[in-house]
Amino acid sequence: MQILFKGKPVHTSGNLPTTKAPDFKLVDKDLKDRTLQEFKGKKKILATVPSLDTGVCSTMTKHLNEFAKKHPEIAIIVVSADLPFAVKRFCENEKVGNVHTFSMMRDKEFGKTYGVLIQDGPLAGLLARSLFIIDENDQVIYSELVSELTQEPNYSKAFERIVK
């Protein structure tokens, strides 16, 4: 799919999942492998960002962290290509402790499977900005691939799908 980075076209791999959310194997800030199956039976918000070390990604993650404080029954997962050490430092410095922050450092398959791996341009190999709402049965009920990487997603549209 084509999106923009600072107004210039870049492409992502494949398509966003529209039915069952694919399982994944990602790495948490303590270097442990994590999977979607660990959150079975819970509603989930799955967000992808290029790097927590940028303004928009940081803002997005903090926004999701605030939402998580009000909705502890929802598992919120933020995935980036950042190394777990950087993720841990970000979470400690920014006091982000209500969301699960994972890295795809060991395997880019997650980005390909979810259709969010950037294929070309200066950010090739990173994840595009996206939001997925996944129900208790791991069905994707909402997805947004943000059309311009430097912008945030439509939180209210996504949140209204998960909070009823």
According to DSSP, the residues that pair with 116 across neighbouring strands are none
- One digit per residue, pLDDT tens: the chain, 164 residues? 999 999 999 999 989 999 999 999 999 999 999 999 999 999 999 999 999 999 999 999 999 999 999 999 999 999 999 999 999 999 999 999 999 999 999 988 999 999 999 999 999 999 999 999 999 999 999 999 999 999 999 999 999 988 86
The pTM of the full predicted model, rounded to 2 decimals, is 0.95
Give pLDDT, residue 14.
85
Q: Choose among 2, 106, 129: nearest CA to 58.
A: 129
d(CA 52, CA 105): 14
132 - beta bridge partners? 46, 143
91 in active site: no
Active-site entry in 46, 52, 57, 118: 57
**Domains in the chain with CATH codes:** 20-162 (3.40.30.10)
CA distance 11 to 76: 26
